[in-house]
A and B are shown apart, each in its own frame.
Chain A
């Protein structure tokens, strides 16, 4: 119970950025619900082709239809599943690799730390999308493979942040105390330091989800994420682009809006959270 009131207090407290936080959370919630209840929300089968192609937005088709006569709105509703699935797996993977590596590297220092830092910094300095393209090309188009490709490029983001924090935390009094009481290294790292990293990891998590959404969309836009006829926002943008010249703007307008709304929602949440954490620590 206490945890719940703490969380609700954290979200609803009248602190700066509450509006942004609530707005972001609302959008994320809507998209999650959309993904879960897709069969009930979508008015049509997203993959069913009909004669009614390139119909502009109307009462029957609120976002129009595409070249194959598929309902754009239904494809957007179902597309939420792919994005959330890929991005969730990707960020979970990169977090579960990046956080322990950063912790070990920062705590132990020495040669391991130097080697890991050089590797992570090199990956970090390189354009994430290009590296993800290489991995996605090799693995082939499928949601799981896309998730692996994306997870690889975001490991350094977690590593760098956790390593830096661990470096500053390990000199603090409570760590000294734990050492004096005979705590083992592993215990100090995971029992004493890790919980203190949680707030920052949470911020990095929300921000990297925002990045990962855009990277996923980028990979699908390049044809590297899903295979047709799977509904996917980035892929629909790719398929719709050639028909923009003929004025069929609704093929690309709506999927793009969804990509950005979702990415923006996570960016706003991350923004508000980081503000609150820095306020709390002052």
Chain B
């Protein structure tokens, strides 16, 4: 069996290559489709001499024909090089920004993801056990409203209530200024635990609460729905009835049902993660969170296409990796999956 799963992982891993290639191609085509010089778009014609321009173009690899650029970038990417920035500062490797920014996004999405799954499991289970009642209808409405919440608006309302009105939680950034934290993984919560820095830990958690809640609640609606429907199916099956007949306590039966209803939820997690990343861009902008999303938005202002390309293609890698992980978890959980 172990050899089976090993093979499955390799084959499934190879399947993410076309996905990344296609997304890279789409992004490349879109960012290069317009005529005009990307460097001039950033610095403007007046501020630069022809020699300087030539030098910059060479540095950014933009002086070659498009198809050469396409394969050059692909080759570099496989070696962890995502090109250089075109402005502010010019010529800095994009990957340095990614190293700095990605852990921030990862931390936010991990916490947002956890919040969404927990709320989804709770509301979905409650709705299923109270099927057909007003509580069930209420949970259904909750799932629709949560789904259509506009992240910046919801985030701002939380900022207003908890940050401005009651003044109990910070509304922007990742940590209080002035707190020294040794950087190991870039995930502040993890780093502060590893270094035993409890002041930084508390601060990082407090900064995470509002953005993670915003992201988590918006994403929880889909889980509520799915968990409820799966639970309703499972609860009507024979083995549940036999548990009841044997006098097993209600909460225990619910727990067994939840375990059975959970497997399809894993599939949803993969898709939800992509939506989570899109939502993270808006959450980061709203809460001034120094992650990948704010990086892309900052680079939009500079019209730095090189940096945007690097960040977006990096996202494609990440999405591919997540879908791989989700599929492996699914295969391990569900014995019916054939490797």
Q: Which residues of A contact B (CB under 8 A)?
A: 118-119, 121-123, 125-131, 133-135, 137-138, 210, 214, 217-218, 221-224, 234, 237-238, 241, 244-245, 247, 249, 252-253, 255-257, 259-260, 263-264, 267-268, 271
Tell me whether A138 and B34 are in contact in the complex, defined as CB-CB below 8 angstroms, given that A133-B300, A241-B156, A244-B160 are known contacts.
Answer: yes
Contacts of B30 in A (CB 8 A): 134-135, 138
Contact, CB under 8 Å: B152 / A126: no
* Interface of chain A, main secondary structure: helix
Tell me whether A130 and B19 are in contact in the complex, defined as CB-CB below 8 angstroms, given that A210-B148, A256-B150 are known contacts.
Answer: no
How long is the Cα–Cα vector from A267 to B231 in the complex, in angstroms?
23
Contacting residue for A126 out of B18, B34, B154, B319, CB 8 A: B319
Contact, CB under 8 Å: A137 / B315: no
Contacts of A129 in B (CB 8 A): 278-279, 281-282
Contact, CB under 8 Å: B150 / A249: no
How long is the Cα–Cα vector from A4 to B154 in the complex, in angstroms?
40
Closest approach, in angstroms, between the C-beta of B28 and any C-beta of chain A?
A: 10
For residue B265, CB closer than 8 A to chain A, the reply is: no
Q: How many positions in chain B have a CB within 8 Å of any CB in the partner chain?
A: 48
| 22 residue pairs from A and B, CB less than 8 Å apart | A118-B18, A126-B23, A127-B278, A128-B274, A128-B275, A134-B31, A134-B308, A134-B312, A137-B300, A214-B148, A217-B150, A218-B150, A221-B152, A237-B153, A237-B156, A241-B156, A253-B153, A256-B157, A263-B148, A264-B144, A267-B147, A271-B144
For residue B26, CB closer than 8 A to chain A, the reply is: yes
For residue B306, CB closer than 8 A to chain A, the reply is: no
Contacts of A127 in B (CB 8 A): 274-275, 277-278, 281, 315, 319
Chain A residue nearest to B309 (CB atoms) is A134
* Interface of chain B, main secondary structure: helix
As a 0/1 sequence over residues 236 to 266 of chain B, the CB contacts with chain A under 8 angstroms (1 = contact) are 0000000000000000000000000000000
Contact, CB under 8 Å: A130 / B277: yes
Q: Which residues of B contact A (CB under 8 A)?
A: 18-19, 22-23, 26-27, 30-31, 33-34, 144-145, 147-154, 156-157, 159-160, 164, 270-271, 274-275, 277-279, 281-282, 285-286, 296-297, 300, 303, 305, 308, 312, 315-316, 319-320, 323
Closest approach, in angstroms, between the C-beta of B237 and any C-beta of chain A?
A: 21
Closest approach, in angstroms, between the C-beta of A151 and any C-beta of chain B?
A: 14
Contact, CB under 8 Å: A133 / B281: yes
Chain A residue nearest to B19 (CB atoms) is A122
Chain A residue nearest to B18 (CB atoms) is A118
Contacts of B320 in A (CB 8 A): 125
Closest approach, in angstroms, between the C-beta of A136 and any C-beta of chain B?
A: 9
Contact, CB under 8 Å: A222 / B285: yes
Contact, CB under 8 Å: B286 / A125: no
Contacting residue for A222 out of B160, B297, B316, CB 8 A: B297
Contact, CB under 8 Å: A126 / B315: yes
How long is the Cα–Cα vector from A257 to B152 in the complex, in angstroms?
11
Closest approach, in angstroms, between the C-beta of A118 and any C-beta of chain B?
A: 6
Contacts of A223 in B (CB 8 A): 300
How long is the Cα–Cα vector from A238 to B282 in the complex, in angstroms?
11
